[in-house]
Amino acid sequence: MMSQAEVTEANICAVCLVPAKNFCSACKLVKYCSTEHQRQHWKQHKKQCRPFRIAKDDILGRYLMATRDIQADGTIFIEEPLVVGPKWYLSEQEREIPVMPCVGCFTPCHMSVRRCPRCHWPACSPRCLGLKDPNIHGLECKILSLGPGPAKKEDCLSNYYRTDALLVLKCLLLQKQNPKKWQDLLDMQSHEEERKGTELQEDAEERIVSYLNSNFLLKSPKFLNEYDSAMLRRICGIIETNYMCVSLPTGIELSGLFYTACMMEHSCQPNCYFSFDRRNGFQISVIAGRTIHKGEHLKIMYSNILWNTHMRNEHLAITKHFHCKCERCGDPTELGTYFSALRCVSATEEPCDGTQLPKDPLNSKTDWVCDKCAITINGEEVRYLLTQMTEEVETLLAQKPSIKQVENLMNKLGAFLHTNHYHMFSLKHTLIQLYGKEPGFTINQLSNALLEKKLDMCNELSDICRKLDPNTIRLSIYVSIILYEMHTVLVEKSKRLFAMEGNTLDEVKALQEQALQHLSLATHLLKKEMDNIAGSKLNDCIVKAIEEVKSLIQKSNLEAY
């Protein structure tokens, strides 16, 4: 059976399967031997016609290129997953928590309470409908039933019920469930050669390969055609290279593999984003984050936009086996944000007010040089310094800090870091939310000076976000929080102005209208975040605030009469 890639690349007419040279003029994917056959097939094909084609490059490999202009917010394509299963990578902390997705429906469940009555793996209920569904658990249940049975209480539950290994098993079972999807899976990049001898491969060998073989696969050699260790290692590489994180409202994260979506190119300034439809088998919808012109590559981001260049590229090198060389990564100032910049460490009598920047931002070992004096810092020294700071920032933010604690750490780190540094960004983003909520610092208790300070911080953070993510594709929640906090300041200022003698209602209404504009923009930005808990909760809060501001505006209008 031909894989999807082979069908796409074959010179075969979609109607009569004879040699053909003419592409569909819209998507450049389907081919025809004649215009008559194109007309015959168009009614069926137009529903699937895509505004992009799969292209190849020696450096990028396969990628997606727009074949016509695509409008912002337009759905570019919708795709069924090859596989959806439990989260691929679990942190040490996550491994210690005895909770996993139900094997029948992905509902969070405790590993020792309820189980599938046949394989004894954790389930939300023995009567869960997904347990008998061959496309969800029915087939894998036969393999899991070969295991040693339910884990004993004294055993480490998460060590026996290895959810990441279950994801590999789901991939392996495609050869029985859906041979076409199995061929598409094998057509995906695995980076097998690059993984050899690495920690990733050693971890997969222990965590996945030996576990599946010893507990399940070697006990049923006739059930699957391909299940040897080499195939398991290959699947681990495919998952590691291509998986996408699927967040559920319950807080559970799953991993999905999508044949076409996984070909999208990485960029630290993407032009697309995606969402998942849980009601339709976790279909992925890829959406244009801005207007995309014909000939542009379709790009998403596989890393964290709020990491610095070194952190983003280190993550990409480990998980995707490439380094990003986009405009942001090649710019020492990171698009004028100075998101990684340090203050000059000159120890002269008159301290230099210059900025330390990486000489070659694409080289993790590069020296850092001052833009105003001759001071140079070794790259290893910078890395050590930032490691210590990262631990300090993460420890503080993990414990629900007070305003005083955040301010103290900002003052301490501010002696070494640029005011826009990513650690300072994180602390400021926390601080603008504390100003107005902490007892003694509620919004009506803040002094005029603190109100202005909060508003200034909001503007600083907004400016950084606009430069890093001009189309607000990845930072919609961060920006929406900033907009919400700006609105609280503007509303409070309007109330204080209204209470003053000699105020003008026009000024009061202008502040309130500006606050409403910020909230309205936030609700627009959050449309792409409604399938996760944080986005949904924030949207509810903003919708409530909109009603309150509208009520204030109405009162101001009545007062004017």
Task: Indicate whether 118 and 178 sit together in one domain.
Answer: yes
Structure confidence at residue 173 (pLDDT): 92
Please report, as a single letter, which amino acid is at residue 405: Q
* Domain annotation covers residue 162: yes
The answer to whether residue 266 sits within a structural domain is no
Answer yes or no: do 88 and 45 share one domain.
no
DSSP string, 251-303: S-EEEEE-TTGGGPEE-SS-SEEEEEEGGGTTEEEEEESS-B-TTPBPEE-SS
Q: Is the pLDDT of residue 315 over 70?
A: yes
d(CA 435, CA 427): 12
- Residues 288, 278 contacting (CB under 8 angstroms): no
Cα-Cα-Cα-Cα dihedral sign, residues 99, 102, 108, 112: negative
CA–chain centroid gap for 66, Å, is: 22
174 burial (CB, 10 Å; 0-12 / 13-18 / 19+) is buried
How many alpha carbons lie under 13 Å from residue 453 in its C-beta half-sphere? Answer: 14
Q: Which of 86-95, 141-150, 461-470 has the highest mean pLDDT?
A: 461-470
Residues 135 and 244 in one domain: yes
Residue 376, CA atoms < 13 Å, CB-side half-sphere? 8
Give per-residue pLDDT as tens, 224-263. 777 788 899 999 999 988 999 998 888 888 999 999 999 9
> What's the confidence (pLDDT) of residue 7?
44
Question: In whole angstroms, what is the distance from residue 273 CA to residue 74 CA?
Answer: 11
Last residue within a domain, chosen from 257, 289, 317? 257
Question: Do both 25 and 136 map to the same domain?
Answer: no
Share the mean pLDDT of the chain. Answer: 88
* Euclidean distance between CA atoms 223 and 373, whole angstroms: 70
Q: Is the pLDDT of residue 36 over 90?
A: no
Of 206, 234, 257, the position where a domain reaches its end is: 257
Q: What is the pLDDT of residue 502?
A: 67
Cα angle 37, 43, 44 (rounded to 5 degrees) comes to: 90
Q: Is 150 contained in some domain? A: yes
Higher pLDDT, 452 or 220: 452
Q: Answer yes or no: do 236 and 179 share one domain.
A: yes
- Shared domain for 140 and 42, answered yes or no, is no
Tell me what pLDDT residue 6 has: 46
Residue 469 has what pLDDT?
A: 97
In the prediction, which pLDDT does 557 show?
A: 76
pLDDT (mean) for 314-319: 86
Q: Is the pLDDT of residue 198 over 80?
A: no
Task: Kindly state whether residues 12 and 97 are assigned to the same domain.
Answer: no
User: Confidence band (pLDDT; 50, 70, 90) for 3?
Assistant: very low
Helix spans in 173-209 (H) = 174-177, 179-186, 192-195, 199-204
Could you tell me the pTM of the whole model? 0.85
The whole-angstrom separation of Cα 99 and Cα 101 is 7
Nearest to 456 by CA among 426, 485, 491: 485
Q: Is 421 helix (H, G, I), strand (E, B) or coil?
A: coil
pLDDT for the residue numbered 104: 94
Kindly report the number of other CB atoms within 10 A of residue 546's CB atom. 17
- Taking 60 as the threshold, does the pLDDT of residue 560 lie above it? no
- Between CA 558 and CA 561 the distance in angstroms is 5
pLDDT digits (tens, 9 = 90+) for 126-144: 999 999 888 889 889 989 9
4 pLDDT higher than 50: no
Q: Is 193 contained in some domain? A: yes
The total of other beta-carbon atoms located within 10 Å of residue 136's CB is: 22
Query: Based on the domain organization, do 193 and 147 belong to the same domain?
Result: yes
Q: Is residue 115 part of a domain?
A: yes
Which tops the pLDDT comparison, 381 or 112? 381
- Which residue from 448, 518, 441 is spatially nearest to 485, judged by alpha carbons? 518
For residue 1, the tally of other CB atoms under 10 A from its CB is 8
Residues 532 and 451 in one domain: yes
Q: Are residues 137 and 243 in the same domain?
A: yes
Band (505; pLDDT cuts 50, 70, 90) = confident
522 contact partners, CB below 8 Å, separation of at least 6: 479, 480, 483, 484, 538, 542
Q: CA–CA separation, 91 vs 537, rounded Å?
A: 26
- Among 129-143, 153-167, 329-343, name the one with the lowest average pLDDT: 153-167
Domain total in the chain: 3
Which residues are paired to 274 by β-bridges? 286
366 falls within a domain = no
Look at residue 8 and tell me whether its pLDDT is greater than 50: no
The tokens of 459 are what?
A: 């503007």
**Domain around 500:** 435-559
40 and 95 housed in the same domain: no
Residue that finishes a domain, picked among 208, 228, 257:
257
| pLDDT tops 90 at residue 156 | no
Domain membership flag for residue 418: no
Give tens-digit pLDDT for 396-444: 999 999 999 999 999 999 999 999 999 999 999 999 999 999 999 999 9
Taking residues 386-401, report their average pLDDT: 94
What share of the chain in percent tops pLDDT 90?
61
Spatial contact of 340 and 329, defined as CB atoms under 8 Å apart:
no
CA–CA distance, 176 with 143 (Å, rounded to integer):
12
Judgement on whether residues 20 and 133 belong to the same structural domain of the protein: no
Q: Mean pLDDT, to the nearest integer, of 184-199?
A: 84
What long-range pairs does 519-528 form, CB within 8 A, spacing at least 24? 519/483, 519/484, 519/487, 519/545, 519/546, 519/549, 520/546, 521/483, 522/479, 522/480, 522/483, 522/484, 525/472, 525/476, 525/479, 525/480, 525/483, 526/476, 526/477, 526/480, 528/273, 528/275, 528/287, 528/476
Q: How far apart are CA 95 and CA 163, in angstroms?
A: 10
What does the block give as tokens for 56? 């190849």
For residue 522, the model assigns a pLDDT of 97
Give domain status of residue 287, yes or no: no
Find all residues with CB under 8 Å of 494, minimum gap 6, and list them. Answer: 508, 509, 511, 512, 515, 552
520 contacts 499 by C-beta, under 8 angstroms: no
C-alpha 496/C-alpha 493 separation (Å) is 5
CA distances from 234 to 205, 209, 318, 392, 394 (A): 11, 10, 16, 39, 35
CA nearest 469: which of 419, 532, 410, 528? 528
